Amino acid sequence: MEPVSQAGSHPEPAADQIGSLDADPGQQSLGPAPRKSAGMGLWMRDLLVSATASVLIITFLYQPVRVEGTSMLPRLEDSDRLFINKFVYHFAAIERSDVVVFHYPRDPEKSYIKRVIALPGDRLRIDHGQVWLNDKPLRENYVPEEYRDSRSMEEIVVPEDSYFMMGDHRSISSDSREFGPVDRSLVYGKAAFVYWPARDAGVVR
């Protein structure tokens, strides 16, 4: 990786309808039991529908991936497992600070996970580790001081349909500072949620 129905319902029959099918008139305890059984059946059906819907959502909307490397520390560690949303960018725009997964421009067989720093048309330069975006210093609370570096880069204008990506661990990350802006067509998912290990579980921000 980083080099990565609403359930339908049927009206319940009345208790006397259930209890009068083959009942002895003297047996008045037949009504409640079938009613309880029917209620349990409805509950089990709704539970099954909900579970099936959850599996389908995870299968078709999300994809599990494993992080390889440490360029997204401190949020993402080596071997973290997370879900990426594969369809969000079909309906929403890629935004600054999104953590995205994309095919490595120099070898599309590989996938990288990085943070979006600049959007198409943005002017970006780096002065001794400080990112300047459209002539304003970019505040990056997701980059701890110990992970910053002192690299500089001359100003560029991010091309149309491209995005400038960087890792949060700036001193070790291979990113757009080396391979340039990433074409929109290479981006295929947004990091959504770390599910393993438990200590790292949570939404990716």
Contact 167, 65 (CB under 8 A): no
Q: What is the CA radius of gyration of the chain?
A: 27
Asked if 114 is an active-site residue, the reply is yes
The confidence band for 32, taking pLDDT boundaries of 50, 70 and 90, is: low
DSSP 155: E
Query: What pLDDT does 152 receive?
Result: 97
Amino acid at 98: D
Length of the chain: 205
Per annotation, catalytic residue among 36, 37, 71, 111? 71
**Cis status, amide bond into 120, omega within 30 of 0:** no
More confident residue, 29 or 55: 55
How many angstroms from the chain centroid is the CA of residue 175?
Answer: 21
User: In this model, does residue 200 exceed pLDDT 70?
Assistant: yes
Q: Model confidence over 102-111: pLDDT tens digits?
A: 999 999 999 9
Percentage above 70 pLDDT, the chain: 78
- Which residue among 20, 86, 110, 114 is the active-site one? 114
Burial class of residue 141 (count of CB atoms within 10 Å of its CB; 0-12, 13-18, 19+): exposed
**Digit-coded pLDDT (tens) for 33-76:** 556 667 787 888 878 877 777 676 666 788 999 999 999 999 99
pTM (global) more than 0.85: no
